[in-house]
Each structure stands twice: as structure tokens, then as C-alpha cells.
A and B are shown apart, each in its own frame.
Chain A
């Protein structure tokens, strides 16, 4: 017997680093319109191929093609464009607010606007999202007041969360937007539980779970897939694969040789993989999965293929771990530009109208910000008082908290 050679540890590395030329040659991207659209009640094992493909509708020419074309009218398309543009403008304004010291922290969703904005349109009133910190588009697409969101980010007197929560960790029950937690993946299994509750109650409401590809490594991702597989509740399990978990490329999360959509196969859960920068694909794929859930056909996992164009957060500098030009080289492009081009191809839009809308949105966001700042910013103006700190730990304040509040003198 020959002596074995010494073992070596495999540590995945992204193909390129700062200073290198961006390289997405390892990505296989099918042409738009080529991926089949199965019936809603297709069993998981009949669509294994779709977990290794990418559902796309908009082609290079900006035309909507193939079986996944959702057939939206110009008004619906414009709604999507406007929602994405508002989300981007909101992000830009809030990042600036952070840079100006008006708040401590912010997280943009640049490049990922189509996913949340498009998905939200598939949901109905009473359905519940269990978002991460990068789905602000779920609120903005349903015209949730920007000022309300800004007040949370500024932790001011009008902050609905009374200054208790880090910026961007919104909560909006009325909008079907579950309270965001800083602890990753915890909400994924909670979404499954919420959907189970809907089924137990004989309701018709559905839940949408959200997670980034990095957090799929957390054990709650596995727990969620097991429970979703066992009880078949009405839940859509979204995985937003934006290639990066802070500085760790998706290979470190286990995506080096397999897709995240393929994870669902082991659990017997139908799974789709879609172009997350294609608003039309998002709308169609989301509608397919939501309809399946609503008809009691069970859970669906969707991997949204996208790219985190901005820094992870206002505390992050991506140029330290990836090429600066990588975002521009991303083969699925920019979701706003692609939908804009589609509308122009349809004859429903123009550069001029786009400029006008951009200016209108800029004005809208600025006005909302002025209104929000009237209620204070983190360090200036009115804000939630210290007595608020002791409220809401329990439904009724127990004696020890009353004593501590007195100790603080408030």
C-alpha cells in the first residue's frame, strides 16, 4: 500500500480580487424565453432542471419573450419602474443622511430592486413577508410612506419603533412586513410557522420568507426547509443570491459547485431559479409560486440570481475584497435600465419621460426627508424619550422594570 499524500483543505476563493479584471465566465446564463413554464401542480422531481437554469423574460433587445412573459400592461410596467426608481432614490438619500451624521447606519439594496418590488405585486392584502434588511422594496412598491421609513432610520420622535431598533430594521404589520431582526435566518423558519398557522386556521393567506445566499448556511434555513417539506404550508422560500455576504463570495456559503435552488431538491420542495434583475421574470415567477401556495399546493423555493451592486452597508468598503468594476460587468445588468429599455421598445416610454420621472422622484424623496427631519434626527431635535426604553418589554411593565425606570429618574 502506498503512503497517502498529505491532505489539504479546500477553501473556495472568488475568481478575482481587487485589481483583477471582473470575470463571470463561470456563470451559465440561458437565453431569455428558453426556460419552460411548468403547470402549478408539477411535482418537485419533474422540475429539477429549473433549479439549474435561469428563468428570464427580457432579452438583449429589451423584448419580453417566452412562456414566462407575465403579459403586463404598460401601466403595470411603469408601476414597477417607478417603484424601483423610488427605492433607489430612497437608498441614495438615506445613505447620504448616514454620511451627514443624521443616523448611525444604513443598508442599500442597489441592483436588487426588481426582486422585492416585483415580488410584492404578487402578494395580496393579508399576506405576510418575513424580510431581511435588504427588502425595503416590499414596502416602497406598495407605496408605504417614505417618511415613515425615514423616521425609523433617523430614530426620531415619529419612529414607529420608538427608537429601539437599529436603522433599516423596519416593522410594518399593516403592510404585511414582519419585524426585521438583526439575527440572520431566524425569520425564515418563522415564515414557515406563520404559513402553518394560516393552514391550521383554514385561512387563504400566504407567507413569503426571505434570506440572502450567505445566510442559507445558518441552521434555520435547513429547519425551514424541513418544516416546509413536512407540513407543506403556503410559503414561498426566497433566496436572494447577490453573490456576496459582506466580503465572502457565494462559494463560501456553499455555492461553488451547486445552485441554492438545488438545495430544495433534497427536501422534495419544488424550486425555481430566476433572473433577479429582470422585473418581468420576477413578476411571473413570484405569481407562479404565490398561486401554488394559495391553492394549497405547498411551498416553493426561488433562488433570485442578482448582484449586490453597492457596499454591504454604510460601514463596508467593497473595494477591499472585490474589483471596483465588478458591478458593471455583471452579466444580468441593471434592473432599472432593463425595464426602462423594455418600456422604450414597447413605445410606452422615452428618455425624456424617464428624466422627468427621475426628477419627480428626487423631489418626492427630498420632500419626504424634509418632513421626516422635522421630527428629529438621531442626534438633533425631538426623539423618543428614555421612558420609552422600558415599555413593551412585556405587555405590562413588571415591578423590576418600573423600579429601574424610577432609578433612571424618568
Chain B
């Protein structure tokens, strides 16, 4: 067991996966010699050689296209898109190819690849270093979409994703690469070494895909969150005094509707959080699922606290990011309605 940041946990997951399976190859822009702009692949090329971990041309479509071809050959590619904001040129390969290959070939060819991409805001990243495009993946049949909120889960989920035989979109909230972030941008950053989930076991372990986890037990309201927003939810519950039950969804597709249903049936109320913009965001699907499955247990309308329906701004970072104050207001509002 060691204290690790999320960056170190991800690197460790890649190291473990590459060590165990010679078919695992890691590539993307700057991931080879340099070790990645966020250091997530640091040292892997030195250890495994240039044919297992290498730099690619700046072409997202090319990166995912070759990954699909490698997967069809029998390798297990782990491709990196430098920022989730830059995945759009690869969207055709992800949606039309990786996601459909098993289905359209009736299992003759598969795409056992992982696409890692740093996502989310809270870092003054402006319009193209802050986006949360998860809903563009959850809407695509054939993909699994994963988003960890801490180093322990990041390692276990990434190893599980690499070992999974279906294509997995692995979103890494870059705001919490080096420490948890609860939205209090005016307070000093806390490192992962002071957080219990910064304890990351050595060697191989997995966190199964498709399983949510309860981060805080409570009776008053169920909060559905993932990524950075899990930490914002914890701060908001503490500060508002609302006895919220906080679920960290971890995997968005396939979704753990059982854990969600159990919690909402217990609390009778539900607040959904995400950084992504509201309209047709993943929160809409969550809201629909809760309404369909828990209608007779609901004592109040389901509320969503999300990014606004605008591009992610620069100067207005903290008016945009759904911080603990906004979440706290929603928690109180859902109790009062």
C-alpha cells in the first residue's frame, strides 16, 4: 500500500497492465519519451520500449483509428487523447467504428481498447481545456463510460477497463489529478496523501465496471455525482448540514441502477450533479431513470446542479463551475419542496 496521486495511480495501473499482458500498448501525443503532459505515462517507454509505449502524430482520428485496427489484430491498445476537448476529430472512429465493431461483425472482430482523456474544469482551462463530454459517449451504444473520483478507484477502474473486452472511454478529471477538490477554489489545495482514497494498493487489483459506491451515507436526500463533483457534494453536505447520501457512480454506462434505486427509495429525494452543460447532459438520463424507477417514493422533484448551457468560460470560471454553495442551495431546496 502506498500513498499515490491520481496521476501516479493511473501510471501504476498502466504499468501493472503492461507488465501482465504483452498485448497492452500505450500511445498518444507526448506520451512516449516525455511521459505525457500530465505525467500519466512517465517512465513507461523506458521500461517497456518504444514499440509498447510511443508518441503519435497530432491526429486524434488517427490515434483512435490505429487503436481500432490494433484491437482487431489482437492487441489491447490504451490510447490517450490529450484533452477530452480534443476528442471530436476522433468521434467518427469512436462512434462508428470502435463502438459498433463487435455488433456489426457479429463478434468476428472486437475493439478491446481504452481511450483515456483528461476532462473537466476548475483549472482556468477556458473553452477547450475544461469540457465534460461524457454525454456524447453515454449516448453511444457499444461504449462503456467510466470516470473515477480518486486514486484508488482510478487504478482499479483503469485496470478493469484495460482487461474489459469492450471499448471503454476513461475520463480523468484533471482538477483532481493531484488532490481532491471540493470547489473551494479560495482554499489551499489538499494533496491526495492526506485523503484515505489516496491509499493505493500495490500490484494488481480491479474496481469492477458498472458498480456505484456510497461515499457518504445519509437519509435526507440522494446525491448522484461522479468525478470532481463527488468532492463538491461532500463539502456541500457538510456545510449545509443536510444529511445527504452521496453516490459516486464511477461507471455511467452500464449504470448501477440498483444502488441508485435503493438509495432514492430510502431518501425519497434526489439531486444530480455534473460539471457538464445541462441540456441533454447525463443528468437528464439519471433523472429519467430515477423518475421511472422510484416515482412512488419521490417526495420532491428531482433537481439538477450542472454547468450552464454555455461554452466553458475563462474569467467566469467560478460562476460556471457548480461549487458547494450552489449544490448546498439545491440540497436545501429539495428538502423544502
Are the C-beta atoms of A197 and B97 separated by less than 8 Å? no
* With A395-B102, A395-B110: A193-B61 Cβ-Cβ less than 8 Å: no
Interface residues on B, range: 35 or more
Chain B: CB-nearest residue to A196: B66
Within 8 A of A (CB), among B45-88: 51-52, 56-57, 59, 61-62, 65-70, 72-75, 77
Minimum Cβ distance to chain A for residue B65 (Å): 3
B93 at interface by CB-CB < 8 Å: yes
* With A200-B52, A394-B142: A194-B69 Cβ-Cβ less than 8 Å: yes
A223 at interface by CB-CB < 8 Å: yes
Are the C-beta atoms of B103 and A164 separated by less than 8 Å? yes
Are the C-beta atoms of B104 and A161 separated by less than 8 Å? yes
Contacts of A181 in B (CB 8 A): 96-97, 100, 104
Among A188, A197, A223, A227, which residue has its beta carbon within 8 angstroms of that of B73?
A: A197
A36 at interface by CB-CB < 8 Å: no
Are the C-beta atoms of B61 and A190 separated by less than 8 Å? no
The CA of A181 and the CA of B102, in the complex, are separated in Å by: 12
Are the C-beta atoms of B103 and A227 separated by less than 8 Å? no
* With A219-B89, A223-B59, A227-B59: A186-B96 Cβ-Cβ less than 8 Å: yes
Within 8 A of B (CB), among A147-189: 160-162, 164-165, 169, 171-173, 178-179, 181-183, 186, 188-189
The CA of A165 and the CA of B102, in the complex, are separated in Å by: 12
Contacts of B104 in A (CB 8 A): 161, 164-165, 169, 171, 179, 181
Among B68, B102, B253, which residue has its beta carbon within 8 angstroms of that of A190?
A: B68
The CA of A283 and the CA of B317, in the complex, are separated in Å by: 62
A393 at interface by CB-CB < 8 Å: yes
Minimum Cβ distance to chain B for residue A388 (Å): 9
A406 at interface by CB-CB < 8 Å: no
Query: Hey, what's the 0/1 contact readout for B92-111 against A, CB within 8 Å counting as 1?
Result: 11001100111111111110
The CA of A160 and the CA of B52, in the complex, are separated in Å by: 35
Are the C-beta atoms of A197 and B89 separated by less than 8 Å? no
Contacts of A128 in B (CB 8 A): 72-73
Are the C-beta atoms of B75 and A197 separated by less than 8 Å? yes
Among B72, B97, B103, B255, which residue has its beta carbon within 8 angstroms of that of A194?
A: B72
Are the C-beta atoms of B254 and A193 separated by less than 8 Å? no
Chain A: CB-nearest residue to B27: A196
Contacts of B110 in A (CB 8 A): 395
Contacts of B166 in A (CB 8 A): 394-395
The CA of A189 and the CA of B89, in the complex, are separated in Å by: 13
Are the C-beta atoms of B254 and A400 separated by less than 8 Å? yes
Contacts of A164 in B (CB 8 A): 103-104, 106
Query: Hey, what's the 0/1 contact readout for A119-141 against B, CB within 8 Å counting as 1?
Result: 00000000010100000000000
B218 at interface by CB-CB < 8 Å: no
Are the C-beta atoms of B68 and A160 separated by less than 8 Å? no
Contacts of A165 in B (CB 8 A): 104
B141 at interface by CB-CB < 8 Å: yes
Are the C-beta atoms of B65 and A186 separated by less than 8 Å? yes
The CA of A186 and the CA of B69, in the complex, are separated in Å by: 10
B16 at interface by CB-CB < 8 Å: no
Are the C-beta atoms of B66 and A190 separated by less than 8 Å? yes
The CA of A172 and the CA of B106, in the complex, are separated in Å by: 10
Are the C-beta atoms of A200 and B51 separated by less than 8 Å? yes
The CA of A50 and the CA of B294, in the complex, are separated in Å by: 70
* With A186-B97, A393-B141: A197-B92 Cβ-Cβ less than 8 Å: no
B257 at interface by CB-CB < 8 Å: yes
A224 at interface by CB-CB < 8 Å: yes
* With A181-B104, A197-B74, A201-B75: A220-B255 Cβ-Cβ less than 8 Å: no
Contacts of B93 in A (CB 8 A): 186, 189, 220
Contacts of A247 in B (CB 8 A): none
B210 at interface by CB-CB < 8 Å: yes
B25 at interface by CB-CB < 8 Å: yes
Chain A: CB-nearest residue to B59: A223
Minimum Cβ distance to chain B for residue A148 (Å): 13
A226 at interface by CB-CB < 8 Å: yes
Minimum Cβ distance to chain A for residue B155 (Å): 23
Binding site for B on A (CB under 8 A): 128, 130, 160-162, 164-165, 169, 171-173, 178-179, 181-183, 186, 188-201, 207, 219-220, 222-224, 226-227, 230, 392-395, 398-400
6 A-B pairs, CB-CB below 8 angstroms?
A128-B72, A197-B73, A222-B59, A392-B103, A393-B141, A398-B254
Listed from nearest, the 5 A-B pairs whose CB atoms lie closest are A193-B69, A193-B66, A189-B65, A223-B62, A197-B73
